[in-house]
Structure 1
Amino acid sequence: MTREFEGKVVIVTGAGSGIGEACAKQLAEAGAKVVAADMNLDGAERVVADIQAKGGEALPYKIDVSDPAAVGAMVAYAVTTYGKLDGAVNNAGIGGPLKPIADYEIDEWKHVIDVDLHSVFYCMKYEIQAMLKNGGGSIVNMSSILGTNGFAGAPAYVASKHALVGMTKNAGIEYSAHGVRVNAVGPAFIKTPLIDNALDDATQEFLVTKHPIGRLGRPEEVANLVLFLLSDKASFITGSYHLVDGAYAAQ
């Protein structure tokens, strides 16, 4: 891998496992200084230890992304520690319970929206402020194939991921002339701890049949696109939504 992120400072939320872990490791390998943020500090510390063992530079950070003050402190930590902020991967999220709308508890709905949608607004608010002071930057928000498709039993998750795509488009319009690019990525079902913990083997086997490519995706395949969108190679790409879905949405 080339060192195209040499000297860059990037925050990755949800970096303690899955897609976030793959993004953090690939960014560090490409030369970035990474703030690996996660609610699960043990996971973040494990990822950072792996990065450091390979000569990369990263620090763990415990974060509850649904707390706006905590998000502001996280961005301030990155800037104070490394001097600036060049990029961010707003990846932290939860699946929520699987049940139809009429059975969804109000508190369950609010929790999913807080973690999967409100947190991305908080992250972008403070990240963009820091990037504007630095002359620009690039943000990738982690949506989902369910940012455009529905999925029975996941109303809060689907609603949050649809809204995240709209918010990404708005940010792209608002800040492109100021040197800050904002894009969203929409993975289909990726083999991550989130999937493994939420879905049994039979359900995962069913989901495989929904992907014409014949398998679930891998975190590294999503990270490959994230790094491209963060990089200068994607300098004319902003306010857009990009699928990594094994032809899920093509059907």
Structure 2
Amino acid sequence: MSSFTGKTILIVGASSGIGHALAQLLQEQGATLITAGRRQPEGIQSTHIEWDVTQPLGDAFAQLPEELHGLVYCPGTINLKPFQRLQPDDYQADFQTNVMGAIETIKGSFTALKKSKMASVVLFSTVAAKVGIGLHTSVSVAKSAVEGLAKSLAAEFATYGIRVNAIAPSLTDTPLAEELLEGDRREAANKRHPLGRVGKPEDIAAMAAFILSDQASWITGQVIGVDGGMGSLK
């Protein structure tokens, strides 16, 4: 039996990148998928909820099923600017997408997660929340808040059997990172990682699927680096 047969997973941001790779993987393993975002993911069989995470959730999640076994919040931002060029609006925009969207998602699905008594929530941070990287101030601030959110909720939700963890990737080859990997930039980015390459969406999706699975039933409150060694090695 596939490891996700009989399980219903909500993925916010499954139309591209890591979210899409995860949706494909879970679909292959028998999960029933609900997706939320601005557009229906291509090639994914899911009940789709149209929602822009920069806007209030409202009653968008009213159509969620009674029981959810997993929730993954994938939306993120890459807003790289020198500190002196960053404006308050930059920080607010990054915070809205990375943090407030996640908070709204969890609040909107909490009852269904609680019902399953064994749910798993997966959020996304960045290696830049652990390692100081120039030009990353705004995204590092937002993703550091995601890590705090994951740990705090893991403590609060443990009594309900809900696990909460965060994955902290390094640069991954997704549409969001396209400009950072153009031409000679890709080779330079590869060389910055001890394992000699940037991440693939499938690398991160595999970890997310593991954290969602029953095999990870004793893992909560963790920030797990999937970063080619960048977060720990010189």
If the TM-score is normalised by the length of the shorter chain, which range does it land in?
over 0.9
> 2:35, 2:49 within 8 Å by CA — same for their partners in 1?
yes
Note if 1:60 corresponds to 2:42: no
Residue identity in the other structure for 1:192 = T
Deviation per residue, 1:106-129 (Å, 9 max, x gap) = 222211111011111112222223
Letter in 2 for 1:161: K
Q: Which of 58, 63, 76 lines up with 1:77 in the alignment?
A: 63
User: How many positions carry a matched residue from both structures?
Assistant: 233
Most deviating of 18-27 and 105-114: 105-114
Q: Is contact 1:183–1:239 with CA below 8 Å preserved after alignment? A: yes
8 Å contact kept, 1:147–1:163: no
TM-score normalized with structure 1 length:
0.86
Aligned-pair CA distance for 1:78: 2.5
Q: Once superposed, what is the RMSD of the aligned Cα atoms?
A: 1.7
Change (3 A) 1:198 1:115: farther
Q: Which runs of 4+ in 1 moved over 6 A?
A: none
Unaligned stretches of 5+ in structure 1? 52-56
What percentage of residue pairs aligned between the two structures are identical? 31
Residue type of the alignment partner of 1:66: T
Other-structure match for 1:9: 8
Q: Deviations over 1:141-166 (max 9, x none)?
A: 01121231222112111111111111
Q: Which amino acid aligns with 2:193?
A: H
Give the CA deviation at 1:199. Answer: 5.0
Q: Does 1:213 align with 2:195?
A: yes
Report deviation, 1:197: 4.1
Are the equivalent residues in 1 in contact too, given 2:51–2:57 (CA < 8 A)? no
Letter matched to residue 13 of structure 1:
V
Please name the residue that 1:92 is paired with.
75
Aligned to 1:29: 28
Q: Tell me the SS of whatever aligns to 1:236.
A: coil
Aligned: 1:146 with 2:124: no
Distance 1:182 1:126 in 2: 15
TM-score normalized by the length of structure 2? 0.92
Segments of 5+ residues of structure 2 without an aligned counterpart are: none
Deviation (angstroms), 1:198: 5.2
What's the counterpart of residue 54 of structure 1?
Answer: none
State the partner residue of 1:231.
213
Structure number with the higher helix fraction is 1
In the alignment, the residues of structure 2 paired with residue 68 and residue 146 of structure 1 have an alpha-carbon distance, to the nearest angstrom, of 28
CA distance in 2, matches of 1:4, 1:110: 39
26-35 or 98-107, larger mean C-alpha shift: 98-107
